[in-house]
Amino acid sequence: MKLILDDGDSNWGHAAQLTGMGLLSFGDPDEIYFGFSIDRNGVLHYENYEPSKIDSSIVYTIPDNISMLQAQLANAQSDLQTKQAAFETATSNN
């Protein structure tokens, strides 16, 4: 929220970008992509960029196959149960 409400030190550039008011400086607003991520330290990252500047040498496929995701979840849950049982055995033996 600071980027929107307390951005005077940056001449309100972050606020304009995040609210869409600064998109004219990036070209056609209909052709602007917005990226958001949270790093391992919990820091939020925001990016606006033009499609013409995309590096397409590396493409990440986002799976849309729900059965594959459900299988991954089932495997993770099974692994968790196995490790939870080992943990409980180890703590009860101490």
pTM of this prediction?
0.37
**What pLDDT, in 10s, does the model give residues 33-84?**
778 899 999 998 888 777 777 788 888 887 788 998 899 999 999 999 999 9
Q: Are residues 39 and 70 in the same domain?
A: no
**First-residue to last-residue Cα distance in the chain:** 48
Q: Helix, strand or coil for residue 34? A: strand
Q: What is the pLDDT of residue 78?
A: 98
50/31 Cα distance (integer angstroms): 6
Q: Are residues 65 and 22 in the same domain?
A: no
Q: 29 or 41, which is more confident? A: 41
> 67 is in which domain, residue-wise?
61-94
Domain count of the fold of the chain:
2
- Beta bridge partner(s), residue 44: 38
Q: What is the pLDDT of residue 60?
A: 81
Q: Does residue 22 have a pLDDT over 70?
A: no
Q: Does residue 17 have a pLDDT over 80?
A: no
